A and B are shown apart, each in its own frame.
Chain A
Amino acid sequence: MVTKKEIKQSFFIALWFIVLTFPIMVIKINTIKHTVLFRWGNILWVGIAGFGASLVWNYFLRMKEEKKKTGVKDDIPVVHRLLQNEKFRNPFLAAVGVFFLAYPFIFPMYHTSIMITALVYVMLGLGLNIVVGLAGLLDLGYVAFYAVGAYAYALLNLHYGLSFWVVLPISAMLGAICGTMLGYPVLKLKGDYLAIVTLGFGEIIRIILENWDSFSNGPRGIPNIPAPSFFGYQFEQHASVVYIYFIVIALVLLTIFFVNRLENSRIGRAWIALRDDEIACQAMGIDKVKTKLTAFALGATWAALGGVVFAAKTSYINPMSFTIWESITILCVVVIGGMGSAIGVIAGALVLILVPEYLRAMAEYRMLVFGALQVIVMVFKPEGLIKSVRKTYKFEKVKE
């Protein structure tokens, strides 16, 4: 399998990595005490790791190339094939349902709490999937709408005493309005110009929240945001987490339902058409302005809903929760999961949020591993973990 040539190549790659990492891995300076520490042992580790990684990397890269050459055309992901299979589908969905219903009662509160975060990201991912995956508009400022939702709940509750359930629809509306407001000026922009302007929009919102003290309480944030009540009844802390968990489950189901219906609707097909070819799409009589604006507005709606849940769950928000890294994480959820595919996005959210949480054991290395994983997944699965499959109609021969 591994040829002599490859071993030789990997050896040189390992040498290259030793040279490459020398100043940063081996030398450690202390500029205050003015001392230098040489950690020669690290050379060995870098060499071994470089050699091994290079062998494995090249092997998998070659496998990928060969697979492309043999040309398996309809490589529909396993999950899709299983879900299309009637026999498997219902028991599977039932099992998933039972698992998620029983989850908060089986696992301790810490795990429930993490799962809530992951599920909020499922919502955010599905919302962003409308904008990026379906309509093909690269939005790097998605977190702004998340912030709008969270701050809407916090501020409306603080000043007017509105409850969670009243704010939920209000924030959805606010999100949609903000989405349209952002969408309108950027209608003409394409691709990366759009990306950087939306990124700017996200940062503007965050910096304003940070500096406009009298409005948002600045970087100190807003504490004591109440948890949602059940027809006026306020749960004690543990039950409240479980309650929020079920609210999120309901919202996620609602999101999945909506997104699914949207995808196969007139507007959903218009988004996909717009993504694939703008000019042809307009020639077919699709209103570009309206289609783009609905994508922004609907995408923002889910983000705002997610924001309300987030604020209710953590009971404290400040602008630090809404940095650009948050937008990037949500984008990663969509792309790593599989753009345009709802199942992919759900899987992406669960993997991307749960993995770093459970990697906390190796606390300081977790972001390093996370970054490396992003590169690895993209190199070997550029279309995401579970890629989207367009609905196709097949004509089967009638059996006589």
Chain B
Amino acid sequence: MRLFNIILGVAVTGILGFFGIKEVLADPAYFFALLLGGLTRGSIYALIALGYTMVYGIIELINFAHGEIYMIGAMTALIVSTVLGLWGWNSAVIVILAFVFAIFYSCAYGFTVEKIAYKPLRTAPRLSALISAIGMSLFLQNYVMLAQTPGFLPFESLIPDFEFWEPFADIITSVEMTIIATTVIVMILLGILIKFTRIGKAMRATAQDQIMASLVGINVNRVISTTFVVGSATAAIGGVLIACHVGQINFYIGFLAGLKAFIAAVLGGIGSIPGAVLGSLVLGISESLFTGYFWSEYEDVFAFVILVIILIFRPSGILGRNETSKV
């Protein structure tokens, strides 16, 4: 069976590779444009997927409301920037304040959602927490829809066209560059937070074993709250950036983005942070290439097909540990 898998894998890669190279050589510029588009898309997925994977790593819950946190981040940024814009503030100040408020409010919502909908369900069956998360997601979507508007709101890009980026603007716009750069910075910061700080250590301990962690004096509730806050912050950054990229938002953007990010997280092996990043990039780039070379209407199908294929060969994702369960 294993040998068969390997042979099949090599054969498929070979065939795809052969045709792929032919296509790429025919028009390299088009290929690189698609690749960069995919990289941007993958970066955004990664920013959202991180929240999923961190929460999952700690309490094994698919946080369905995570996409909504991301939407609230984008919404808040839009509201703040519009109000300050009307008051005639300096545009640089507006950008900074919009980001600060978006991050603050996303974190606050992430924190509150955890306290209301997940904390009382720590010991309950896992599916109950999942339904509670779905309910929360539905609630937040409708809350934003009723309080603001059901239609699309145009989102004027907060990120200006940098002058120093002028020479490269043909290849990659400054918004895309900002997205990729921000993602890289966030990844590095997050890596440092988890690897080297005290709270990061506590997070890893809690992820391994909650009861043991609490026995050695870790405040598990606080660690879980911190995880939600950190995850929400990255989602907020992702939300603001994608809104700048796409140019419009509504109350429903969180759902599909959340779904894609969740696929990416699972693809990389849920619970693993490098896995989430890798999964997001794989998903983003392959989606972009697929829509560029084949049919764009089957874009979402393709995301799921990749997922199914990878999970069939690696049942716990690309970087996920293949746990053997013991009795």
Q: Which has the most chain B C-beta neighbours within 10 Å: A28, A193, A278?
A: A193
A368 to B311, CA, bound (A): 35
Q: How far is the CB of A22 from chain B (nearest CB, A)?
A: 9
Given contacts A200-B304, A378-B121, A383-B128, contact A19 B108 (CB under 8 A): yes
Of B137, B138, B262, which is in contact with the most chain A CB atoms at under 10 Å from its CB? B138
Q: Which residue of A lies closest to B61 (CB)?
A: A192
Residue interface mask B297-318, A partner, CB < 8 A = 1: 1101101110110011001110
Say yes or no: B83 contacts A185, CB within 8 Å: no
Which stretch from A202-210, A220-228, A244-252 is at the chain B interface? A202-210
Report if A379 contacts B (CB, 8 A).
yes
Which of B140, B305, B315, B316 contacts A204, CB < 8 Å?
Answer: B305
Whether the pair B301, A208 counts as a contact (CB closer than 8 A) is yes
Given contacts A332-B131, A336-B131, A371-B142, contact A29 B79 (CB under 8 A): yes
A23 interface contact, C-beta 8 A: yes
Asked whether A123 is an interface residue with its Cβ less than 8 Å from the other chain, the reply is: no
The reply to whether the CB of A372 lies closer than 8 angstroms to some CB of chain B is yes
A64: chain B residues at CB < 8 Å are 120
Chain B hits for A378, CB < 8 A:
117, 121, 124, 128-129, 131-132, 135
> Counting CB contacts under 8 A, is B148 at the interface?
yes
Query: B109 near A: Cβ within 8 Å?
Result: yes
List A contacts of B76 (CB < 8 A). 23-24
Evaluate whether A31 and B142 lie within 8 angstroms (CB atoms) in the complex, with A23-B105, A211-B297 already known. no
Please report the total number of B residues contacting A with Cβ < 8 Å.
Answer: 66
Of the candidates B270, B305, B317, B327, which one forms a contact with A277 in the assembled complex, judged by CB atoms under 8 Å apart?
Answer: B327
For the complex with contacts A199-B304, A379-B120, 13 further pairs of A-B residues with Cβ separation under 8 Å are: A24-B143, A27-B83, A36-B83, A186-B311, A189-B311, A192-B56, A196-B262, A204-B301, A211-B298, A279-B326, A367-B142, A374-B134, A383-B125
Which of A24, A188, A374, A375 has a CB less than 8 Å from the CB of B75? A24
Measured CA separation A3–B153 after assembly (Å): 46
A-B contact pairs, 13 of them (CB 8 A): A23-B76, A29-B153, A196-B266, A200-B304, A203-B300, A277-B327, A335-B130, A365-B142, A371-B134, A371-B136, A375-B132, A378-B135, A382-B124
Q: A193 and B304 in contact (CB under 8 A), knowing A20-B108, A332-B131?
A: no
Residues 49-64 of A, flagged 1 when their CB comes within 8 A of B and 0 if not, give: 0000000000001001
A130 close to B (CB within 8 Å): no
Query: Interface majority SS on B: helix, strand, loop or mixed?
Result: helix
Does B21 make an interface contact (CB < 8 A)? no
| Docked pose: A252 CA to B305 CA in angstroms | 35
What 0/1 readout, one digit per residue, does chain A (360-373) give for beta carbons within 8 Å of chain B? 00001101101111
With A368-B143, A378-B124, A378-B129 already in contact, the answer to whether A328 and B298 are too (CB < 8 A) is: no
Check if A273 is an interface residue, CB within 8 A of chain B. no
B binding-site residues for A, Cβ under 8 Å: 56, 62, 72, 75-76, 78-80, 82-83, 86, 101, 105, 108-109, 112, 116-117, 120-121, 124-125, 127-132, 134-144, 146-148, 153-154, 259, 262-263, 266, 270, 297-298, 300-301, 303-305, 307-308, 311-312, 315-317, 325-327
Q: Please measure, in the bound complex, the distance between the C-alpha atom of A378 and the C-alpha atom of B153, giving whole angstroms.
A: 34
**What total of A-B pairs shows CB separation below 8 Å?**
173
Check if B327 sits within 8 Å of A279, measured CB to CB: yes
Q: Is the CB of B128 within 8 A of A192?
A: no
Contact B116 A36 (CB under 8 A): no
Complex partner residue of B147 from A25, A34, A36, CB under 8 angstroms = A25
A382 contacts B80, C-beta separation under 8 Å: no
Instruction: Tell whether A31 pairs with B153 under 8 Å between CB atoms, given A371-B142, A382-B128.
Output: yes
Known: A196-B262, A372-B135, A375-B135. A24 touches B79 (CB 8 A): yes
Tell me if A354 is interfacial: C-beta within 8 Å of chain B.
no
Query: Is B146 in contact with A365, judged by CB distance below 8 angstroms?
Result: yes
Instruction: Say yes or no: is A195 at the interface (Cβ < 8 Å to chain B).
Output: yes
> Given the interface contacts A200-B308, A375-B135, A375-B139, does A29 sit within 8 Å of B129 by beta carbon?
no
